[in-house]
C-alpha cells in the first residue's frame, strides 16, 4: 500500500525474469520488460469511492515522474547461475486513491500482474447517531461514501455533535468528510470539473463540513474549537479540521 499524504507517494516496481537456458548455454544478453499501469474501473470497489466517469490520465499513477507516462521499460542484463535477473522502474502515485494494476510483459514470457493500493490507511466510516445528535448528509451518486475519517477524528466529531445536541437540542448535519480511501475528494459540476481540487482539505480523514441550516455557529465553534481542539477554516462554510 502507498500511503497518501501531501507529498507524492513513490514506489519501485521490480520485474524478476527467470530464463531457462539449455545445459551448457548462456542466458540471453538481455530481456526488455514493458510495464503499463491501468486505472481502476469507474464505480468499482477498487475506485476509492469514485463512482463517476473514467479517470483521465492525471488521475492515476505513472512511471518516471508524477503525472508522467503510463508505460515504461527496463532491461534485465545480468542473470545469476539459475538464469534469474531483475530490473526496476520508478512508480509515482497520483493524489487520487484506488487500486491500480501494473502489467508487465516481455517477449516469450508469460504476462505478469500486480496491484498497487493507493490510500490513506486506517480510515473508518462515521457511524449513525444512536441519540439522533447528528445526521449524515451530502452523499451523491458520484461519491456515495463521503463520511470517512481517522478513528480519532470520527470519535471527536461524534463528541462535538453530542455535546452540542445536549446543549441546544439541535442535531447537526455532518456533510463531507473524506472518501473511503482518502485522497482527492473531487466535487464535480457546477463547482468544477471532476478529478479537480475544490475540496482541497478533504484528503486525510481529518476534515468535516457541517450544514449551516439551523446551526448556532458561536455555540458550535466554542465546543469544536475550545473543547475539542479542532480548527475552523473558511468564513462562509462551517469546516473544521480535527486532530
What the chain holds in terms of domains, given with CATH numbers, is 2-119 (2.60.40), 124-241 (no CATH)
pLDDT at residue 234, as a whole number: 83
> Residue 191: pLDDT band by 50, 70, 90 thresholds?
confident
- Give the HSE-up count for residue 158: Cα atoms under 13 Å, Cβ half-sphere: 17
Return all residues near 140 (Cβ < 8 A) that are at least 6 apart. Answer: 146
Residue with more model confidence, 6 or 187: 187
> Residue 121: pLDDT band by 50, 70, 90 thresholds?
very high
Whole-Å CA distances, 59 to 16, 93, 153, 179: 28, 9, 27, 15
Whole-Å CA distances, 7 to 93, 178, 185, 208, 240: 10, 18, 16, 22, 22
The span from the CA of 49 to the CA of 52, in Å, is 9
The span from the CA of 146 to the CA of 160, in Å, is 19
Q: What is the DSSP letter of 224?
A: I
79-113 pLDDT, tens digit per residue, is 988 889 999 999 999 999 999 999 999 998 999 99
Amino acid at each position: 500500500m502507498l500511503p497518501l499524504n501531501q507529498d507524492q507517494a513513490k514506489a519501485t516496481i521490480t520485474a524478476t525474469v527467470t530464463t531457462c537456458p539449455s545445459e551448457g548455454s548462456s542466458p540471453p544478453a538481455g530481456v526488455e520488460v514493458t510495464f503499463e499501469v491501468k486505472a481502476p474501473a469507474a464505480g468499482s470497489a477498487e475506485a476509492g469511492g469514485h463512482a463517476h466517469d473514467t479517470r483521465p490520465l492525471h488521475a492515476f499513477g505513472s512511471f518516471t515522474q508524477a503525472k508522467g507516462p503510463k508505460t515504461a521499460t527496463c532491461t534485465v542484463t545480468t542473470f545469476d547461475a539459475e538464469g534469474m535477473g531483475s530490473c526496476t522502474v520508478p512508480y509515482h502515485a497520483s493524489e487520487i486513491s484506488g487500486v491500480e494494476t501494473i502489467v508487465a510483459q516481455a517477449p516469450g514470457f508469460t504476462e505478469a500482474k500486480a496491484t498497487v493500493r493507493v490510500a490513506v490507511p486506517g480510515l473508518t466510516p462515521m457511524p449513525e447517531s444512536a441519540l439522533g445528535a447528528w445526521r449524515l448528509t451530502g452523499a451523491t451518486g458520484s461519491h456515495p461514501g463521503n463520511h470517512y475519517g481517522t478513528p480519532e477524528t470520527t470519535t471527536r466529531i461524534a463528541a462535538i455533535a453530542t455535546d452540542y445536541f445536549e446543549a441546544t437540542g439541535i442535531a447537526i448535519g455532518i456533510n463531507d468528510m473524506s472518501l473511503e480511501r482518502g485522497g482527492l475528494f473531487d466535487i464535480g459540476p457546477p463547482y468544477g470539473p471532476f478529478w479537480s481540487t475544490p475540496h482541497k482539505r478533504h484528503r486525510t480523514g481529518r476534515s468535516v463540513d457541517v450544514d449551516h441550516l439551523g446551526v448556532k455557529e458561536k455555540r458550535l465553534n466554542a465546543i469544536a474549537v475550545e473543547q475539542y481542539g479542532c480548527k475552523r477554516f473558511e468564513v462562509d462554510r462551517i469546516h473544521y479540521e480535527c486532530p
